[in-house]
């Protein structure tokens, strides 16, 4: 056996905060149609995703930030639509 082989394994970097932000942003999109808890998931998702942007790797943190932004816009559109419908009913 050749003694020149390095016995050091490469450790893959992970971004736990970015992953948490990504998961919370996905949950906020899923829950946005059923509950007002989506606001909590949305806020936590955007906070963790932005925090994850300062660590490497950034892929899931970027995805979480984009999904959280879309989820926030979706929530705002649902609220505006609800107010328009309520005013139209009166």
Q: Please give the C-alpha separations between residue 13 and each of 29, 41, 52, 56, in angstroms, as whole numbers.
A: 27, 26, 13, 7
- Retrieve residue 87's tokens: 């005013």
Give the tens place of pLDDT for each residue, 52-70.
999 989 999 999 999 999 8
Contacts for 48 with CB less than 8 Å, ≥ 6 apart: 17, 18, 20, 21, 24, 64
Contacts for 30 with CB less than 8 Å, ≥ 6 apart: none
pLDDT of residue 67: 92
Query: Angle, nearest 10°, between helix axes 38-52 and 59-89?
Result: 150
- Retrieve residue 74's tokens: 């979706």
Tell me which of 66 and 38 has the higher pLDDT: 66
* Average pLDDT, integer, range 17-31: 91
What global pTM score does this model have?
0.76
């Amino acid at each position: 056996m050749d003694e020149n082989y390095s016995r050091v394994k490469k450790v893959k970097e992970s971004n736990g905060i970015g992953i948490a932000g990504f998961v919370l942003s996905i949950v906020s999109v899923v829950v946005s149609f059923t509950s007002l808890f989506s606001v909590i998931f949305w806020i936590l998702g955007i906070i963790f995703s932005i925090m994850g942007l300062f660590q490497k790797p950034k892929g899931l943190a970027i995805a979480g930030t984009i999904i959280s932004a879309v989820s926030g816009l979706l929530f705002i559109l649902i609220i505006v639509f609800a107010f328009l419908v309520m005013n139209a009913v009166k």
